[in-house]
Every structure is written in structure tokens, then in C-alpha cells.
């Protein structure tokens, strides 16, 4: 919904929140439930109301637990909070919740002690939540102080409040890097972006106890919803960009290669260069880039031979240039990238093209670009569409995978039969229980995979952790490599044991390794592990979704017998390995 | 804006917040007396009025905004002072 996308009209959202909520609830979409505990150290009423809108907008069905006394709530041994079974605990704290800020007469030791005691206080809360609920914790860091008794010295003498807050924020960052379930809501950045004077309203604090101005709440919630959506793997995955007057200045079909603008020193060129550089950064962290341009294909490609272009053709995972309507090209791009159109973000300077895409493919996020190119980058950045939850090594390598994919496709064309091609790939697989090291990637894969996904189950990072250490569960991960490179972790199976029965709760595989018999290799290993654990029967379950038709017949093809909703395999019979082309180490 | 216009704007805001477009709200009513009203809406109303009329309420005024009529007079006073060039 446009009202809930950047740039936000905070007054409009606050005034029409009931209508916006009703309209969101009228949208026909399947909404997974989400249990959010909001623990405040200041008034939270409006935060809850507005956050609900942004989470509904993200396709979730949130239910809330609210409390104004964050410390008591967490430390209370009766634990109404934990009985709520939150998926996410949000600690909405800010400067007003610190026990005290340094005073000019404090000694350096006193300030150090103050810092240590505040850290200890929050560490204790996080510890307690982590041990009582296997949920994600989203924690505000701190905004800069609204006033500076020491003036500019405040930023650098030990007694300075600005310095104190900076130091506390650094320690929060360290804690979040160390704790896998702690995520920061960076209100330090957000309040700077908005301006401290618009962030903090003394009147609203004194009169109603709000630690931030009402006008800032929609901004807070927009940011927070992006963090929560990212935790659930609901961030978007690909940016589709137009060429003329978007990626570069000018129209290549008319101005020619020498006429388009992306050179240093040229004001318009600089703005396009900054956008290109940002796109490269998105790509480095795993966002797939694609081009959708109304151009003659040869002419469109020619633009990438410009000496000053930052983006190279091989950075693009899909390239559509032609004269068909853009919505049709977007559908093709999604197909090329094995994504649904709801994973795409569309960047185009032309309002008519944007309007057409908005109307035809409402699930695509369309960035409302301003008229002037210098505003493009900010608009894209603030959208929050690509918020990552963690920086996964595999993401950084994804661009390389896509290149290796192209080489594999070339090799496939050189072979007449599939079996010959698969043998030529010289595939090797490692299939073993997920290690701590693989955990972030495994979790990400579970959140992201839609097509080869038998049950569609999603897990919170904490839940996955619990299953990994459970004696009654097997969490198996598979990585596949071949002569063109390594594909990384691309398949996960979670099986639950109940006496002599093993049940497959989750079976997913990345589309990158479809038709490589990798699912057969995984299946052989699952059978082997289950037998070793003494299981006599293996149960499978296929839960249809709009995207997983691909695996509707999987259990049938593997020799399972249908029993009502379930599929069953007798493990006491002899098992002939199904995979014939992958060499497996387990 | 005329005094009547001010009153009408406040009335519309109150109806918007309650999402009851046709609601009849008498000028002698305090918003807090309306069914479905909450302290939350009270804050939202105060902030929305500050934005709409480009005025600031003092802390004392925020304490009790009064009836719709009293609120309209208060805003009128503030607007008048602004027109006179006084803060």
C-alpha cells in the first residue's frame, strides 16, 4: 500500500490508521501468524497500533503482547510474557530508560562503571529471554541526546553524554554480533535521518510519556517491520532496473554510446554512477540484479561497453531488452531467477511504466522515483525492501554461482542426454547434520525456498537451533560441488523420530541444483540415517502451496505408499541407492 | 479560516480518527466523552491539530483540550496571535 511505503506521510498514517488497517485486512492474502511482544520503557500505544499496519503490509498476521515495564516483565518468574510464546520480543527502549547519564563532575572511573552497569543490565535481559523463549530479540539502540550540557565537548570528554551514548551503541553492536538471536533496530541512524528535533518532543514526553514524537513513530515502525520481515526471510530478492535515464543518463537509442551519461565530473553522470555503485553493493550481498529495458537488445548491450560504467554485464542475472510490455518481461525475469514476482523490486524513471507494473503486478514493489536522478538512490535505500537479517557468506558468493550456472548451461547444451551431462559434471556431495557454522545459511535457505519445499514449514532461528540439539530430531544439510564450482549448502531435511517411526517435517532444496539427482542423494542419506537410528517406517507429507507443484509427485516417485494425507515407506525392505551420479561423503 | 471552519476541521478530524465519517459530534462535547475514544486518540488528535493549523499547544493546554468549541476558540486565539506577529 502506497501510504505505508517510503516516503512516509506520518500525519496521514496517524490520522487514517483505522481506515488503513481495515483496507489491509480486506486484502485477500494468506497471512502467516506472528506473535510479537512489545516491551516498552515508555508509552507504546501508538507504536503497537502503527507497527501492526506495517506488519500487515508485509503480509503477516501479528498478535501483540504489550507491556510498559520491560525489565520487570522479562525478569518476572511468573512469566506471562513467556506464556505468550513470542516469536519476536521487541525492546522499545531509549535514552529515557537509562538509569542515569554522566554528569560533568563524574570521574572517568564512575563513567566506566555506569557503562558497565547499563551493559550488564541489558545483557541480563537478553540472557533471560534467550533462555526462556526461543525467539528473536529486536532491541533499539540509543538516539543521540537531545541536549548537550558540555556543548561540543560532549562528544569527546569521558563525561560527555554524546560520547557515552556512542560507546553504549558500540557495545550493543558487539553484543548483536556475538548473539545469534539479538538484532538491533538502529534508532540512532533513524533519528539522525529524521533529525533529532523531529524525533524527540519534550511536550509529548512530559504530557504522555512518549520517548519519541508521534510523527516519528511511522518511521520507527517502517524500519522495525523491515527488520522483522528480514528475520522471517520475507525481504525481497531481486532488483530489476531500467536502463535509459535510470541506470545511465540519456537514451542510448537516440544519443548513442558517446551521448549517454555516467562519467565522473558530469553532474548527471555522477548521480547515475552513485546508483550503479549502490547496485554493485546490493549484488555483493546477494541481491540478484536484472535489466528490463525497452530497447533493441544489441543497443541495450552496447551501453555496457561504456568506459565509465561500474556495472558489468556479468553482474546481471537476467537481461530483458525488447519492446514487449514491461510486466511481461518482469514475469520472464522472475522465471529466469527461479523467484516469484513478489520477490522483485522495480526501478524505472518512467512514471507510466511504473503505473503499468503497479496495476498489472501489484505484488511487485515499485520504487516511487522522484523526477530528478539525484533522489533515486535515497528512495531505493530507504524503501527497506532488501533488509538483510544476517550477512551470510553464501550470499556474498551468490554472484559467482550464477556465473557457474551459465557455464553449466553451456555444458548441458553440448550433451545430448542428461545422464551423460550429469556424469560429465563430476558431482560431489557432502551430506551431514547441520553444523553451527552452516546454521545461518540453513535457516536462510528454509525461509527462502518455495518450489522444492514439501511442507512449507518455516522456523525461527531459535527453533532451528533447538532441533539441531534435540535427540529426537535429525537436521541434515547437503552441499553439492562439481567441476564448475561449489554450490554451497543447497538442501536441508528435518526428520523427527517417534519410536520406530521417522517423519520428514521439512525437505527443501535450492532450485539451483534441480535435475542433478541431488534430491536422490539426500533421500539415500535420510534413509540410511533413519535406519541407523532404528526407524522401521519413514513418513512423508506433501502440503500443497501455490509454488510447490514441482514436488507434488516426489514421494510417489520414491516408492512411498499413500496413506490418506501421508506417504509411508517401509524401511525394513532392502534399499537400493537411487542416486547414481553424485559421489557422496557423509 | 473562519471560526466555523476551524470547528468543522476539528469535527472532521475526530470523525476520521474514530473512522465514523457521518458521526454527529456536538460542539459542547469533549472528545474523551465519545464512544470508542481513547487516550491514544487524544494524543493523535493533539498532534494532528498542531500539524493542520501549524500551532503548538503548551503543556498546560495538552493537559485538557476541553470541548470541541473550547478547542476551536483556543486554536482561533493562537492563529490570531500568529497573524498579529506574536508567538
Q: Which helix (H) or strand (E) holds B49?
A: helix B39-53
pLDDT band at A145 (very low <50, low <70, confident <90, very high): very high
Interface test with B, best of A10, A13, A42, A45 (most B CBs within 10 A): A45
Q: What is the pLDDT of residue A576?
A: 87
CA of A160 to nearest chain B CA: how many angstroms apart?
Answer: 29
The answer to whether the Cβ–Cβ distance between B43 and A214 falls below 8 Å is yes
pLDDT band at A405 (very low <50, low <70, confident <90, very high): low
Interface test with A, best of B47, B58, B60, B63 (most A CBs within 10 A): B47
Query: Is the Cβ–Cβ distance between A463 and A496 less than 8 Å?
Result: no
Tens of pLDDT, residue by residue over A177-209, are: 898 889 999 999 999 999 999 999 999 999 888
- Does the structure show a pLDDT above 60 at A252? yes
Contacts of A299 (CB under 8 A, 6+ apart): A252, A253, A321
Greater model confidence, A59 or A422: A59
Q: What is the pLDDT of residue A406?
A: 61
**Cβ-based interface (< 8 Å): residues of B facing A:** 13, 16-19, 38-40, 43-44, 47-48, 51, 56-59, 62-63
Question: Measured between alpha carbons, how far is residue A408 from residues A19, A413, A420, A481, A501 in Å?
Answer: 52, 9, 13, 12, 40
The answer to whether the Cβ–Cβ distance between A14 and B48 falls below 8 Å is yes
The answer to whether the Cβ–Cβ distance between A203 and B18 falls below 8 Å is no
Q: What is the pLDDT of residue A512?
A: 79
Model's pTM, two decimal places? 0.74
Query: Is the Cβ–Cβ distance between A488 and A441 less than 8 Å?
Result: yes
CATH number of the domain where residue B13 is located: 1.10.1200.10
Interface test with B, best of A10, A16, A18, A51 (most B CBs within 10 A): A18
Query: Is the Cβ–Cβ distance between A496 and A537 less than 8 Å?
Result: no
Residue of chain B minimizing CA distance to A215: B47
- Does the structure show a pLDDT above 70 at A391? no
The answer to whether the Cβ–Cβ distance between A214 and B44 falls below 8 Å is yes
pLDDT band at A450 (very low <50, low <70, confident <90, very high): confident
A18, with CB counted inside 10 A (0-12, 13-18, 19+), is: middle
Q: Residue A213: list chain B partners with CB under 8 A.
A: 47
> Which structural domain, as residue segments, surrounds residue B53?
3-83
d(CA A49, CA A61): 13
Q: Residue A208: list chain B partners with CB under 8 A.
A: 39, 43, 62
Tens of pLDDT, residue by residue over A516-546, are: 899 999 999 999 999 998 999 999 999 998 8
Q: What is the pLDDT of residue A476?
A: 95
pLDDT band at A504 (very low <50, low <70, confident <90, very high): very high
The answer to whether the Cβ–Cβ distance between A11 and B48 falls below 8 Å is yes
pLDDT band at A1 (very low <50, low <70, confident <90, very high): confident
pLDDT band at A439 (very low <50, low <70, confident <90, very high): confident
- Does the structure show a pLDDT above 80 at A2? yes
Give the pLDDT mean for A39-65: 94
- Does the structure show a pLDDT above 60 at A393? no
Q: What is the mean pLDDT of chain A?
A: 91
Q: Residue A49: list chain B partners with CB under 8 A.
A: 40
Question: Measured between alpha carbons, how far is residue A127 from residues A77, A181, A227, A279 in Å?
Answer: 14, 10, 21, 38
Q: What is the pLDDT of residue A273?
A: 95
Q: What is the pLDDT of residue A413?
A: 62
Q: What is the pLDDT of residue A137?
A: 95
Q: Residue A45: list chain B partners with CB under 8 A.
A: 38-40, 43
Nearest neighbour of A19 by CB, restricted to B19, B58, B59: B19
Give the pLDDT mean for A496-503: 93
Three-class secondary structure of residue A33 per DSSP: strand
Nearest neighbour of A18 by CB, restricted to B13, B19, B62: B19
Residue of chain A minimizing CA distance to B21: A19
Flag residues of chain B having pLDDT under 50.
Answer: none
| HEC letters along A256-300 | CCCCCECCCCCHHHHHHHHHHHHHHHHHHCCCEEEEEEECCHHHH
What total of structural domains would you count in chain B?
1
Q: What is the pLDDT of residue A334?
A: 92
Interface test with B, best of A42, A198, A214 (most B CBs within 10 A): A214
CA nearest neighbour of A36 among A15, A50, A22: A50
B7-22: b or e for each residue (b if 16 or more CB lie within 10 Å)?
bebbbebbbbbbeeee
Q: Residue B18: list chain A partners with CB under 8 A.
A: 18
Nearest neighbour of A11 by CB, restricted to B39, B51, B59: B51
Tens of pLDDT, residue by residue over A292-323, are: 999 999 999 999 999 999 999 989 999 999 99
Nearest neighbour of A206 by CB, restricted to B47, B56, B59: B59
Query: Is the Cβ–Cβ distance between A174 and A128 less than 8 Å?
Result: no
Tens of pLDDT, residue by residue over A78-109, are: 779 999 999 999 999 999 999 999 999 999 99
Residue of chain A minimizing CA distance to B52: A11
CA of A198 to nearest chain B CA: how many angstroms apart?
Answer: 12
CA of A20 to nearest chain B CA: how many angstroms apart?
Answer: 10
**Cβ-based interface (< 8 Å): residues of A facing B:** 11, 14-19, 22, 45-46, 49, 203-204, 206-208, 210, 213-215
d(CA A480, CA A473): 23
Q: What is the pLDDT of residue A415?
A: 61
Lowest mean pLDDT across A349-363, A474-488, A522-536: A474-488
Q: What is the pLDDT of residue B83?
A: 80
The answer to whether the Cβ–Cβ distance between B43 and A11 falls below 8 Å is no
- Does the structure show a pLDDT above 70 at A71? yes
Give the pLDDT mean for A5-10: 93
Residue of chain B minimizing CA distance to A14: B44
The answer to whether the Cβ–Cβ distance between B40 and A45 falls below 8 Å is yes
- Does the structure show a pLDDT above 90 at A291? yes
Q: What is the pLDDT of residue A400?
A: 57
The answer to whether the Cβ–Cβ distance between A15 and B48 falls below 8 Å is yes
Residue of chain B minimizing CA distance to A20: B19
Q: What is the pLDDT of residue B61?
A: 87
d(CA A249, CA A267): 10
Amino acid at each position: 500500500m502506497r501510504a505505508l511505503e517510503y516516503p512516509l506521510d506520518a500525519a496521514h498514517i496517524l490520522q487514517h490508521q483505522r481506515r488503513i488497517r481495515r483496507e489491509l485486512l480486506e486484502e485477500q492474502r494468506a497471512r502467516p501468524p506472528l506473535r510479537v511482544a512489545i516491551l516498552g520503557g515508555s508509552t507504546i500505544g501508538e507504536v503497537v497500533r502503527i507497527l501492526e499496519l506495517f506488519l500487515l503490509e508485509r503480509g503477516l498476521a501479528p498478535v501483540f503482547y504489550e507491556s510498559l515495564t520491560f525489565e520487570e516483565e522479562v525478569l518476572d518468574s511468573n512469566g506471562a510474557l513467556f506464556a505468550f510464546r513470542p516469536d519476536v520480543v521487541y525492546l522499545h527502549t531509549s535514552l529515557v530508560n537509562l538509569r542515569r547519564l554522566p554528569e560533568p563532575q563524574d570521574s572517568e572511573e564512575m563513567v566506566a562503571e555506569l557503562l558497565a552497569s547499563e551493559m550488564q543490565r541489558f545483557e541480563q535481559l537478553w540472557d533471560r529471554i534467550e533462555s526462556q523463549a526461543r525467539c528473536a530479540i529486536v532491541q533499539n539502540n540509543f538516539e543521540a541526546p537531545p541536549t548537550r550540557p558540555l556543548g561540543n565537548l560532549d562528544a569527546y570528554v569521558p563525561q560527555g553524554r554524546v560520547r557515552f551514548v556512542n560507546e553504549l551503541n558500540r557495545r550493543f553492536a558487539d553484543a548483536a554480533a556475538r548473539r545469534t538471536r539479538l538484532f538491533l533496530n538502529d534508532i540512532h541512524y533513524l533519528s539522525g535521518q529524521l533529525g533529532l528535533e523531529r524525533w524527540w518532543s519534550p511536550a509529548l514526553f512530559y504530557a504522555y510519556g512518549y520517548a519519541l514524537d508521534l510523527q516519528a513513530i511511522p518511521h520507527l515502525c517502517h524500519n522495525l517491520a523491515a527488520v522483522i520481515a528480514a528475520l522471517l526471510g520475507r525481504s525481497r530478492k531481486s532488483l530489476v532496473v531500467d536502463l535509459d535515464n535510470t541506470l545511465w543518463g540519456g537514451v542510448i537509442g537516440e544519443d548513442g554510446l558517446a551521448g549517454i551519461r555516467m562519467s565522473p565530473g558530469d553532474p548527471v553522470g555522477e548521480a547515475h554512477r552513485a546508483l550503479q555503485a549502490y547496485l554493485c553493493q546490493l549484488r555483493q550481498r546477494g541481491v540478484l540484479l536484472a535489466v528490463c529495458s525497452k530497447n533493441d537488445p544489441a543497443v541495450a548491450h552496447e551501453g555496457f561497453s561504456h568506459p565509465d560504467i561500474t556495472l558489468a554485464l556479468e553482474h546481471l542475472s537476467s537481461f530483458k531488452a525488447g519492446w514487449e510490455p514491461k510486466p511481461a518481461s518482469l514475469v520472464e525475469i522472475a522465471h529466469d531467477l527461479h523467484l516469484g514476482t513478489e520477490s522483485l523490486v522495480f526501478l524505472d524513471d518512467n512514471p507510466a511504466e511504473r503505473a503499468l507494473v503497479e496495476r498489472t503486478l501489484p505484488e511487485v514493489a515499485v520504487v516511487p522515483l522522484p523526477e530528478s536522478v539525484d533522489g533515486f538512490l535515497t528512495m531505493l535505500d530507504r524503501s527497506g525492501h532488501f533488509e538483510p537479517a544476517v550477512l551470510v557468506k553464501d550470499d556474498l558468493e551468490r554472484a559467482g554461482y550464477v556465473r557457474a550456472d551459465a557455464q553449466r548451461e553451456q555444458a548441458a547444451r553440448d550433451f545430448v542426454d542428461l545422464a551423460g551431462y550429469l556424469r560429465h559434471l563430476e558431482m560431489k556431495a557432502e551430506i551431514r547434520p547441520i553444523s553451527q557454522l552452516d546454521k545461518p545459511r540453513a535457516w536462510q535457505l528454509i525461509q527462502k525456498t518455495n518450489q522444492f519445499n514439501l511442507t512449507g514449514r518455516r522456523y525461527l532461528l531459535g527453533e532451528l537451533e533447538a532441533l539441531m540439539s534435540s535427540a529426537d530430531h535429525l537436521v541434515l544439510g547437503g552441499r553439492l560441488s562439481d567441476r564448475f564450482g561449489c554450490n554451497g549448502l543447497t538442501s536441508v531435511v528435518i526428520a523427527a523420530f517417534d519410536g520406530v517411526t521417522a517423519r520428514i517435517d521439512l525437505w527443501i532444496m535450492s532450485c539451483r541444483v534441480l535435475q542433478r539427482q541431488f534430491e536422490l542423494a539426500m533421500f539415500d542419506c535420510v534413509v540410511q540415517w533413519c535406519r541407523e537410528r532404528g526407524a522401521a517406517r519413514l513418513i512423508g507429507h506433501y502440503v500443497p502451496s501455490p509454488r510447490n507443484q514441482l514436488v507434488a509427485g516426489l514421494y510417489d516417485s520414491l516408492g512411498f505408499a499413500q496413506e490418506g494425507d501421508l506417504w509411508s515407506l517401509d524401511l525394513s525392505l532392502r534399499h537400493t541407492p537411487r542416486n547414481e551420479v553424485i559421489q557422496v561423503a557423509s | 479560516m473562519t471560526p466555523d471552519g476551524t470547528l468543522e476541521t476539528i469535527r472532521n478530524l475526530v470523525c476520521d480518527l474514530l473512522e465514523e465519517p457521518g458521526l454527529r459530534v456536538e460542539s459542547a462535547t469533549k472528545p474523551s466523552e465519545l464512544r470508542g475514544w481513547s487516550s491514544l486518540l487524544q494524543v493523535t488528535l493533539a498532534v494532528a491539530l498542531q500539524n493542520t493549523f501549524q500551532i503548538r499547544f503548551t503543556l498546560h493546554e495538552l493537559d485538557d483540550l476541553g470541548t470541541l468549541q473550547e478547542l476551536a476558540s483556543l486554536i482561533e486565539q493562537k492563529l490570531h496571535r500568529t497573524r498579529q506577529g506574536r508567538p
